[in-house]
């Protein structure tokens, strides 16, 4: 593993959703280039087995108690094997000691720093409050902190800036898969049944509100069904039994992008997002978008001309974008990986000048 910098990435809490996408894309890029060390959850061992040219992996079993109260218990043993790395990149996991020359914390979930007025199960709320306290207590070891939107970067600054005046903050956005995207965009859209789609069923996603919005617009746009991608565990019976609803608990990545491409509308009623992978992909693929008016959504739409929609008999406000073109302010996952080095270079220049 010959390279100028020794990178150690900790993605051990990421095995689903957007976290998994970023994990796999980072692994792929480094394995194709200089290689890096990765700490991963054992659940994704099979998913990374083909990336074995230059990378080396350490697998950590899923333990919710240790995840909450003693994250990083495995770090000393890894460091004793590989030595002190140049850069330690921790995806959502507090940094509790001076592990590397540069210690880098990435905020993977905005809920970790903001739960006020957000719909959450009590268990999740308590977990997020504990995680927030642990992030704040550990920030003294952090040299670089990043988020996936200006909103999340500002959350970091507001919460931790006074605790570590030597921490530098940067934006590290989500990316898109150029290969999958090009395959989809080169296909002709099939319109067998006009439908709207939403992705994610956690409580803060406000699926009931999204469904109410669907019913509000379905007649005008001749929509025949509302497709919900995600687990049914978080959905009330009234939604599951709605005759217009079709639920896809799991779906292959390519099929998900195809679903977005052929949808008449993508709808998100989410109360909070770090920066949504699903929204980014919908902006790149779907015909029309309706997004709740929250900071990270509004960031993604600010270069577009949008119209306001207010859900009848409620205060929920949405922005709608019709006939989406490809003027989305987005970069590929390859460019995201390269941006890691830009951030390191900017950090070094900033610290050298001081």
Q: What is the pLDDT of residue 1?
A: 41
Mean pLDDT of 114-141: 91
User: In this model, does residue 12 exceed pLDDT 50?
Assistant: yes
Same structural domain, 157 and 273: no
C-beta separation of 296 from 274 below 8 A? yes
Q: What is the pLDDT of residues 223-239, one digit of tens each?
A: 999 999 999 988 999 99
d(CA 12, CA 25): 15
- Specify the pTM: 0.91
Residue 139 falls inside a structural domain: yes
Considering the domain architecture, whether residues 123 and 182 belong to the same structural domain is answered as no
- 227 shares a domain with 131: no
Please state, as a whole number, how many other Cβ atoms lie within 10 Å of the Cβ of residue 258. Answer: 19
Kindly report which listed range (151-165, 195-209, 227-241, 314-328) carries the lowest average pLDDT score: 314-328
More confident residue, 12 or 186: 12
> Does residue 156 share a domain with residue 182?
no
Inter-residue contact 163 to 95 (CB < 8 Å): no
Total count of domains within the chain: 2
Residue 82 lies in a domain: yes
| 2 inside domain | no
Specify whether 189 is located in the same domain as 276. yes
Task: Indicate the range of 102-116, 158-172, 314-328, 336-350 predicted with least confidence.
Answer: 314-328
Q: Which domain holds residue 218?
A: 178-321
Please indicate, yes or no, whether residues 169 and 228 belong to a single structural domain of this protein.
no
Residue 3 has pLDDT above 60, yes or no: no
pLDDT-derived band at 20, boundaries 50, 70, 90:
very high
Six-digit token string for 72: 């990083």
What per-residue confidence (pLDDT) applies to 2? 40
Q: Nearest 5 degrees, angle CA 192-CA 196-CA 202?
A: 135
Query: Has residue 1 been placed in a domain?
Result: no
Mean confidence (pLDDT) of the chain = 90
Contact 172, 340 (CB under 8 A): yes
Q: Assess if residue 326 is contained within a domain.
A: no
- Once rounded to an integer, what is the mean pLDDT over residues 245-267? 93
pLDDT per residue over 277-300, tens digit each? 899 999 999 999 999 999 999 999
195 lies in the same domain as 104:
no
Tell me the three-class secondary structure of 147-215, residue by residue: ECCHHHHHHHHHHHHHHCCCCEEEECCCEECHHHHHHHHCCCCCCCCCEEEEECCCHHHCHHHHHHHHH
> Do 146 and 29 fall within a single domain?
yes
Cα Rg, the chain, nearest whole Å: 21
Largest CA distance in the chain: 64
Q: Are 194 and 167 contained in the same domain?
A: no
Both 95 and 220 in one domain: the answer is no
The percentage of the chain sitting over the pLDDT mark of 70, rounded to a whole number, equals 95
Residue 127 gets the label, from left (phi > 0), alpha (psi -120 to 50) or beta, of: alpha
Which tokens hold the place of 1?
């593993």
Distance, CA of 16 to chain centre: 10
The reply to whether 184 and 119 lie within a common domain is no
For residues 40 and 238, give the distance between their C-alpha atoms in angstroms, rounded to a whole number: 38
- In eight-state DSSP terms, residue 222 is T
The set of residues, in sequence order, having a beta carbon less than 8 Å from that of 219 and lying 6+ positions away, is none
Question: Dihedral sign, CA of 152, 86, 334, 58?
Answer: negative
Task: Give mean pLDDT, residues 339-354.
Answer: 89
Residue 62: its pLDDT value, please? 74
Q: Which CATH number is 113's domain given?
A: 3.40.50.2000
296-302 long-range Cβ contacts below 8 angstroms, 24+ apart? 296/110, 296/148, 296/149, 296/151, 296/152, 296/272, 297/268, 297/270, 297/273, 299/149, 299/150, 299/151, 299/275, 300/275, 300/276, 300/328, 300/329
Do the domain assignments include residue 45? yes
In terms of domains, do 94 and 133 share one? yes
pLDDT for res 24 = 96
Number of H helices, E strands in the chain: 12, 16
């Amino acid at each position: 593993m010959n390279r100028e910098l020794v990178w150690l990435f900790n993605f051990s809490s990421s095995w689903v959703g957007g976290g998994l996408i970023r994990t796999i894309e980072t692994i792929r890029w480094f394995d194709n280039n200089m290689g890096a060390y990765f700490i991963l959850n054992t659940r994704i061992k099979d998913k990374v087995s083909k990336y074995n040219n230059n990378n080396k992996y350490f697998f950590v079993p899923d333990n919710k108690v240790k995840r909450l109260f003693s994250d990083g218990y495995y770090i000393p043993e890894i460091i004793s094997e590989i030595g002190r790395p140049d850069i330690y990149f921790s995806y959502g996991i507090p940094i509790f000691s001076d592990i590397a020359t540069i210690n880098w914390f990435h905020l993977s979930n905005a809920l970790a720093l903001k739960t006020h007025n957000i719909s959450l199960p009590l268990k999740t709320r308590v977990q997020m409050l504990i995680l927030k306290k642990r992030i704040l207590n550990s920030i003294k070891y952090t040299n670089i902190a990043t988020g996936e939107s200006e909103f999340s970067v500002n959350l970091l600054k507001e919460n931790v800036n006074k605790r570590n005046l030597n921490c530098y903050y940067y934006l590290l956005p989500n990316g898109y898969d150029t290969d999958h995207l090009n395959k989809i965009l080169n296909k002709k859209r099939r319109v067998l049944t006009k439908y709207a789609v939403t992705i994610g069923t956690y409580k803060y996603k406000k699926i009931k509100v999204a469904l109410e919005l669907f019913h509000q617009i379905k007649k005008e746009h001749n929509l025949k069904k509302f497709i919900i991608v995600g687990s049914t565990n978080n959905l009330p019976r009234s939604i599951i039994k709605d005759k217009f609803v079709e639920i896809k608990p799991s779906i292959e990545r390519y099929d998900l992008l195809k679903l977005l491409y052929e949808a008449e509308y993508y709808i998100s009623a989410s109360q909070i997002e770090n920066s949504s992978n699903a929204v980014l992909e919908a902006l790149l693929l779907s015909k029309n978008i309706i997004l709740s008016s929250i900071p990270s959504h509004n960031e993604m739409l600010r270069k577009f001309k949008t119209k306001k929609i207010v859900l009848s008999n409620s205060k929920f406000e949405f922005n709608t974008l019709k006939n989406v073109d490809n003027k989305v302010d987005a970069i590929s996952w390859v460019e995201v990986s390269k941006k890691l080095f830009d951030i390191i270079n900017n950090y070094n220049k900033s610290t050298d000048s001081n």
